[in-house]
Amino acid sequence: MSDAQEQHRDRELLATAQRLAAVGGWEYDIQRETLSCTDEVTRLCGQPASDELTLSTTIEQFHPSDQPAVRAAIDGAINAGEGFEGEWRLQPEDDDQRWVRVYGEPEEQNGAVVRVRGAIEDITAEKQHKQRLNRLFETNRKLFGQDTTDAVASVAVDAARGVLGLSLCGIHLYDAGDNVLAPVATTDATVEAFGEPPAFGPGDSIAWETFETGEPHVYDDVQAADTVHNPDTAIRSELLLPLGDHGVFIASSPQAGAFDDRTVSMGKILAADVEAALDQLDQKQQLRETNERLAEFANIVSHDLRNPLSVAKAGVEVAQRGAGDGDSLERVERAHDRMATLIDDLLTLAQDGEDLDEDALESVSLPAVAADAWDGVATDDAALAVPATDSIVADRSRLRQLLENLFRNSIEHGSPDDRSQAVDTEPAVDDAESAVDDVDHDAAVTVRVGDLPDGFYVEDDGPGIDPDDRETVFEPGYTTHDEGTGFGLRIVRTVAAAHDWDVSVTDGTAGGARFVFTDVETRLN
């Protein structure tokens, strides 16, 4: 290889290295007033490689606001022999703005600066990355300022579009009632390109796989995935990031290999912030519920327990004066019994207000638990009919507490003083009227437990509940019975809420009250 060929090869290697590193070299000869640049410098300045650059025309390629600083740095190198390093914006004509880092070192001969040599490095990607990080930090603060899950999702999607440049993206959150990942926030561009996003159920999509495994997935070509929801989709690239037990963030592109490592990394940061914000909302909700229970308990202690305590205290004072009789002691005993009942209900409320232990959930037979609950209730001339046959997913102990309180409520408001017991757990019948035929027609009240398509009901044929009172009955302390504590139906609602069931009151088929429980799971997931 000749010297000329070797020099040409070296120049080619240097040019390639400069292009890959986005770094170019330059030299300004002070005496000749000439500027020599590598091809990478002319490229960054938006000039043809054949053009001769001057110092002044090159400085004019910088952003107008940055030009004074560039001139000052070069003047300092020429006149004072000071090296420099600065970050400024290049604004070439008909080209995008670039951020560059410029280095300059003066070279002296005989004590005088004769030339300045340096380099220009393209740091646009670095600057954009820092700007994105700063905007993500601002997004983080905004996420934690939201009051609803939908609002958090909306802020996150806006940030993914505006900060990360992910125009086709959305968030699906888990809907426990339907056991699906439901879309809650989506960019307009996604809807325009693909229509309204679907919900994803177990096993039918890579979105569900991401949610279930908790592992992020990046697909350069989603059509090759085994669990793709729609094999005919126009989507090629897809980025799926889990949001803990809340849901999944999904970004898509019609281009293959659209998501580089930096975008994936930034997406993971955003997803972690979204998960933390949703966790905080859950914690706030739990704290609100705890504070509400504490307020209820404080009211019970300050009011409901104080009344029987005052009665007992008065009876004891009468007895101490020697003026008491059997009635005084009976009043004391009744007051103590009343306090014991209130304390029991208070403890039940405290326990049932706690989160369910997932390990305690099991498939339980509704008829069997109903029979057990009936055995634990002192009944008048009451009868139990159980046309229900289904099993449901529940904490057996808490379900029994729920049923016991409903049974007591029906009996207290519909039974005479005579006490007997009748239990009927025959198989289901065609309708509620037929069920009555299976029980004692002379019973003061008949309580019936039956199946519903998405839950169950408990009803009686007593006097019913006035429509105006059907929400009030669940409030603590509400009772129309002299011996009632007013916490039985509150316990019912608390147990239902712990299971994520909806409970409402309607008219019973025989004119009494029907308590309807829906969103009840029938099998363990």
Cβ–Cβ < 8 Å for 172, 201: no
CATH number belonging to domain 3-122: 3.30.450.20
Mean pLDDT over 506-525 rounds to 88
In the three-class reduction of DSSP (H, G, I as helix; E, B as strand; rest coil), residue 509 is classed as coil
Helix-then-strand count for the chain, H and E: 15, 18
The more confident residue out of 253 and 300 is 253
- pLDDT band per the 50, 70, 90 thresholds, residue 495: confident
The first and second tokens of residue 382, run together, are 């009451």
Hey, do 127-283 and 358-518 end up sharing a CATH topology, with the first three levels equal?
A: no
| DSSP code per residue over 220-282 | SSGGG-TT-S-TT-S--EEEEEE-TTSEEEEEEESSTT---HHHHHHHHHHHHHHHHHHHHHH
pLDDT digits (tens, 9 = 90+) for 460-483: 988 888 888 777 777 755 555 545
The first and second tokens of residue 409, run together, are 């409520």
Q: What residues are paired with 362 via a beta bridge? A: 394
Mean pLDDT over 330-348 rounds to 64
Cβ–Cβ < 8 Å for 449, 388: yes
| pLDDT above 90: percentage of residues in the chain | 43
pLDDT digits (tens, 9 = 90+) for 106-134: 999 998 999 999 999 999 988 888 888 88
Cβ–Cβ < 8 Å for 361, 400: no
Q: Which residues contact 434 (CB under 8 A, 6 or more apart)?
A: none
The first and second tokens of residue 31, run together, are 């005496």
In the chain, where the domains are located: 3-122, 127-283, 358-518
Is the pLDDT reported for residue 205 higher than 90?
Answer: no
How does the average pLDDT of the chain come out, rounded? Answer: 81
Strands (E), 283-399: 361-365, 381-385, 391-395
- Cα 162 to Cα 165: distance, rounded to the nearest angstrom: 6
- pLDDT band per the 50, 70, 90 thresholds, residue 287: confident
What CATH class has 358-518?
A: alpha beta
In the three-class reduction of DSSP (H, G, I as helix; E, B as strand; rest coil), residue 169 is classed as strand
* Domain at 127-283: CATH architecture: 2-Layer Sandwich (3.30)
Task: Tell me the whole-structure pTM to 2 decimals.
Answer: 0.57
Is the pLDDT reported for residue 271 higher than 80?
Answer: yes
